[in-house]
Amino acid sequence: MSAETLYIIGLVLVLLYVSTGVDDFIWDIICLWKRGKQKNDTLSFKDLEEFPPKLIALVIAAWHEDNVLLNVVENIIASQQYPKSMYHIFLGVYPNDSATVYIAQQLQKKFTNVHCVINYKEGPTSKAQNINYVISRIKDYEKGKDWRFSAVTVHDSEDLVHPYEFKVTNYLMNKYPAIQFPVFPLIKKPTFRNFFSNITTNTYADEFAENHFITMVSRRNTGAFVPSAGTGFSLARDTIDTLGYHVLPENSLTEDYRLSLTLYENGLQMHYVLEKLERLDFQGEVQTEYIATRSMFPNTFKTAVKQKTRWTLGITMQSLKFKEIFNNELSFAGKYSLYRDQKAKIGNLLSMVGYPVLIYFIVSLFIPLTPIYPKYTLSWYLCAVVTVMMIERQIFRAVALKNIYGFRSVFFGCLFPPVVPIRIVWGNIINLVATVRAYIQFIKGKRKNKDVIPELNLTQVSIEESCANTPENLQEPQGEEKEMMKFEWSKTEHSFLDKEVLSRFHRRFGDVLVAKGYITTSLLKELLDKKDEEVFVGEYLLGLNVITEKNFIDALTSVKNIPFVHKHSLSLYDLPSFRNDFDKRFLLENKVLPLLKTKDGYVFAYGSSTPINTQALLRKKFNVDKQTVLTLDEGIIDGISKIYNGRRRMKENVFDDYLLEEKITVEQLVIIRNYVAMNKGLEEDIANQMGVCQNVQEQNYIIA
């Protein structure tokens, strides 16, 4: 090959790299400057607890997930720092998947807030159809319970859901129509020994860290299009009503992307959440942790290509076309973000063409070869520009990896070896093959599988209409027709962590104290280093007067998921009604307070000084409900005084009737009255905000 031909090839390639990458470089610099100027509005626990917890529905679509579903759901319930009665998990399964149906039904029997929803179609349909059907059943469930969920959250059946996700969702749904949490792959600690065996999963970590720590934040800050990640996202209930029967487009391979784009085109931005907090890890070291979804991603070349083929096909070829970007009224930032998404199908192919050229260039520095980029020529200067852009991208990725996974991942992801890191090259190879496969499937699908599918339109639907869920009401909506290809649900096989590893993600007593601002991580670490292993952390810190009894009880109720009764709310309970049921001396000696009467027995409040054997004693002497609550010691003394010195109600309280009729749970009633005591409103107002007892018309008050 002549020197002139080699030069032209090199010039064409470098021009392509510059033309497709310089806009990204400029955009990154602008977003970095904007990010530096913006105020960091970090959430505090005081903010999160300002509003009563509202009902949240969690949807998990499952097809052949019997190997992970049980552990995933049990982990959510064991770890979630949100009242159990205020979130319900709906498992979408298929009648021809008996193994997964069995697991879902077992979970439904075990937990009152888990529901098995068997699709009226045999599987697999599409993930979107599965979720849409579950949402229709949720609306039916609301109607039967007189409830209204404030949000519907979607997770995959292999997700590790963060313990504070629902608490943050509850707060942000007051402001945004939809929210998306970060998704960070779970990876093993990278070493030279496992470098190649885990290289595929680690490329996911590289890409997701960069995308969800930098790119998504930049999009949010500039008002650009923020796409859903397919899991860890929530839709406000009003947004769901606006979308009608078909919330997610059922014939899209990336239904989440298409949904978020539909919302964006109609002025409803998906808000991206990037919040972090400090905690002590299982080794007692201070760790910064993001409120994010963690998942196990594919670790073989074949499965990674299969998954990324679906993503590339759905996002860049099925959801949108280049020409459609400029035919709407979106902002410049919105149009540019869509352009970047579409550009991936070109960039993935182009990136691999450059590697042979780069290798040739490096070799030419040491061996006398015909230079592809002669010094001080146009192509040489352009090559220098490309090099700067490449270094800039690696720096951005390194910063993201450092914040999410630590410096060890920076070394193996961006520095090993220098110049052309192996993990980056391997990731580009996967993306190249996936893009080629996506083009092939697109062409084949366009020839063979054309199907006229109505395009979803945003229409306002009444609550009554939304509650209908018969198969007839779940037919394709009528609207403007658009040619789209029909593809099957291309599912990735999943795995999950064992229970020993999962326990590291659960909140411990010290974690909650730190999160609530009762103690700093540095002081907690210092004190725990001196603690006797046999002593409970709470009692140890309480004995040192580092925390108060209120701090102790508040943290304990979070860890144990037991309702906490505020002292000032005791006047809202009909305590004098227990006057003839219990002996005053018995209650005082055992430091226990009867609080409520249910269909199954009594609900007692315990304090920090209540003897350990009191619960067993009460179980033997009285018919005690399984539900117990905690309060301060002074609240127990004050409550006992109200029993024997207070006046009875003039008339019944409607919420006590709801409790006996099981229209409301003990936990929900305690929460309602706590917020009433905090002067947040009347009982019916708080219940309405929470989404329970929606049709209560009149409240009857207690005279204490």
Q: Provide the pLDDT for residue 611.
A: 92
Q: Provide the pLDDT for residue 461.
A: 34
pLDDT in tens, 177-188: 999 999 999 999
In this structure, is residue 3 part of a structural domain?
A: no
Cis peptide before 417 (omega within 30 of 0): yes
Spatial distance between the Cα atoms of 291 and 179, rounded to a whole number of angstroms = 13
CA 436 to chain centre: 31
Please report, as a single letter, which amino acid is at residue 89: I
Spatial distance between the Cα atoms of 232 and 212, rounded to a whole number of angstroms = 12
> In 156-212, which ranges are E strands?
178-180, 183-185
Select the more confidently predicted residue: 698 or 509: 509
Least confident interval from 27-31, 317-321, 462-466, 657-661: 462-466
Q: Three-state SS for 235?
A: strand
Q: Provide the pLDDT for residue 697.
A: 57
- Domain's final residue, options 485, 515, 532: 485
Spatial distance between the Cα atoms of 230 and 626, rounded to a whole number of angstroms = 38
From 363, 365, 383, select the one nearest 373 (Cα to Cα): 383
| 332-364 vs 422-448: helix crossing angle, rounded to 10 | 120
- 88 and 20 in a common domain: yes
Is residue 390 over pLDDT 80?
A: yes
In this structure, is residue 194 part of a structural domain?
A: yes
Highest averaged pLDDT of the listed ranges 33-42, 327-336, 678-687 = 678-687
From 399, 300, 313, select the one nearest 348 (Cα to Cα): 313
Spatial distance between the Cα atoms of 379 and 368, rounded to a whole number of angstroms = 19
Is residue 223 over pLDDT 80?
A: yes
- Domain's final residue, options 485, 515, 541: 485
Q: Both tokens of residue 468?
A: 């209908």
131, β-bridge pairs: none
Q: pTM, whole model, 2 decimals?
A: 0.90
Spatial distance between the Cα atoms of 506 and 514, rounded to a whole number of angstroms = 14
The one-character DSSP state at 64 is S
- 463 and 335 in a common domain: yes
* Torsion angles phi and psi, residue 108, rounded to 5: -65, -40
Q: Provide the pLDDT for residue 460.
A: 34
Is residue 609 over pLDDT 50?
A: yes
Q: Provide the pLDDT for residue 428.
A: 93
Is residue 640 over pLDDT 90?
A: yes
| 332-364 vs 301-312: helix crossing angle, rounded to 10 | 140
* Torsion angles phi and psi, residue 246, rounded to 5: -100, 90
Q: Which residue stretches of 299-415 are H helix?
A: 301-312, 322-325, 332-364, 378-404, 407-410
Select the more confidently predicted residue: 672 or 370: 672
From 92, 139, 149, select the one nearest 115 (Cα to Cα): 92
Q: Provide the pLDDT for residue 689.
A: 94
Is residue 634 over pLDDT 60?
A: yes
Q: What value does the mean pLDDT take over residues 446-467?
A: 42
To which H or E segment does residue 481 belong?
A: strand 481-485
- Domain's final residue, options 518, 537, 558: 558
Burial class (CB in 10 A: 0-12, 13-18, 19+), 375: exposed
Spatial distance between the Cα atoms of 413 and 421, rounded to a whole number of angstroms = 7
Q: Which residues of 690-703 are buried (b: 16+ CB within 10 A; e: fewer)?
A: bbbbeebeeeeebe
Q: Provide the pLDDT for residue 299.
A: 94
Q: CB of 405 within 8 A of CB of 210?
A: no
Is residue 13 over pLDDT 80?
A: yes
Q: Both tokens of residue 124?
A: 């697999």
Select the more confidently predicted residue: 336 or 495: 336
Say how many C-beta atoms besides its own lie within 10 A of residue 358's C-beta: 17
In this structure, is residue 8 part of a structural domain?
A: no
Is residue 699 over pLDDT 90?
A: no
Q: Provide the pLDDT for residue 415.
A: 95
Spatial distance between the Cα atoms of 261 and 264, rounded to a whole number of angstroms = 5
Beta strands 178-180 and 270-272, pairing class: parallel
In this structure, is residue 685 part of a structural domain?
A: yes
Q: Provide the pLDDT for residue 482.
A: 40
Select the more confidently predicted residue: 249 or 477: 249
Q: What value does the mean pLDDT take over residues 132-159?
A: 96
Q: CB of 217 within 8 A of CB of 182?
A: no
Give percent of the chain above pLDDT 70.
90
Cis peptide before 52 (omega within 30 of 0): no
Spatial distance between the Cα atoms of 255 and 229, rounded to a whole number of angstroms = 10
Q: Provide the pLDDT for residue 236.
A: 97
Confidence bin at 540 (pLDDT 50/70/90): very high
- 270 and 253 in a common domain: yes
- 608 and 540 in a common domain: no
Q: CB of 513 within 8 A of CB of 522?
A: no
- 257 and 168 in a common domain: yes
Q: Provide the pLDDT for residue 694.
A: 85
Is residue 548 over pLDDT 90?
A: yes
Q: What value does the mean pLDDT take over residues 250-258?
A: 91
* Domain CATH for 345: 3.90.550.10
In this structure, is residue 155 part of a structural domain?
A: yes
Spatial distance between the Cα atoms of 96 and 543, rounded to a whole number of angstroms = 58
**Any idea what the Cα angle at residue 602 is, between residues 600 and 604, rounded to 5°?**
140
Number of independent structural domains in the chain: 3
Give percent of the chain above pLDDT 90.
62
Confidence bin at 466 (pLDDT 50/70/90): very low
Q: Is 284 left (phi over 0), alpha (psi -120 to 50) or beta?
A: left
- 647 and 521 in a common domain: no
Is residue 467 over pLDDT 70?
A: no
- 169 and 39 in a common domain: yes
Show Cβ contacts of residue 627 under 8 Å, excluding neighbours closer than 6 positions: 563, 598, 603, 665, 666, 667
Q: CB of 293 within 8 A of CB of 185?
A: no
Select the more confidently predicted residue: 486 or 103: 103
- 97 and 186 in a common domain: yes
Beta strands 270-272 and 481-485, pairing class: unpaired
Beta strands 151-155 and 233-236, pairing class: antiparallel
In this structure, is residue 501 part of a structural domain?
A: no
Is residue 215 over pLDDT 70?
A: yes
Domain that holds residue 629: 562-690
Is residue 618 over pLDDT 90?
A: no
Is residue 10 over pLDDT 80?
A: yes
Is residue 416 over pLDDT 80?
A: yes
- 579 and 536 in a common domain: no
- 399 and 320 in a common domain: yes
- 632 and 593 in a common domain: yes
Mean pLDDT estimate for the chain:
87
- 665 and 593 in a common domain: yes
pLDDT in tens, 574-604: 999 999 999 999 999 999 999 999 888 889 9
Least confident interval from 37-46, 147-156, 429-438: 37-46
Strand order through the sheet with 178-180: 114-118, 87-93, 56-61, 151-155, 233-236, 178-180, 270-272
In this structure, is residue 342 part of a structural domain?
A: yes
Confidence bin at 359 (pLDDT 50/70/90): confident
In this structure, is residue 216 part of a structural domain?
A: yes
Q: Provide the pLDDT for residue 469.
A: 40
Least confident interval from 101-115, 224-238, 683-697: 683-697
Say how many C-beta atoms besides its own lie within 10 A of residue 381's C-beta: 12
Least confident interval from 198-202, 423-427, 594-598, 618-622: 618-622
* Torsion angles phi and psi, residue 270, rounded to 5: -80, 125
Please report, as a single letter, which amino acid is at residue 387: T
Q: Provide the pLDDT for residue 490.
A: 57
Least confident interval from 19-23, 154-158, 270-274, 301-305: 19-23
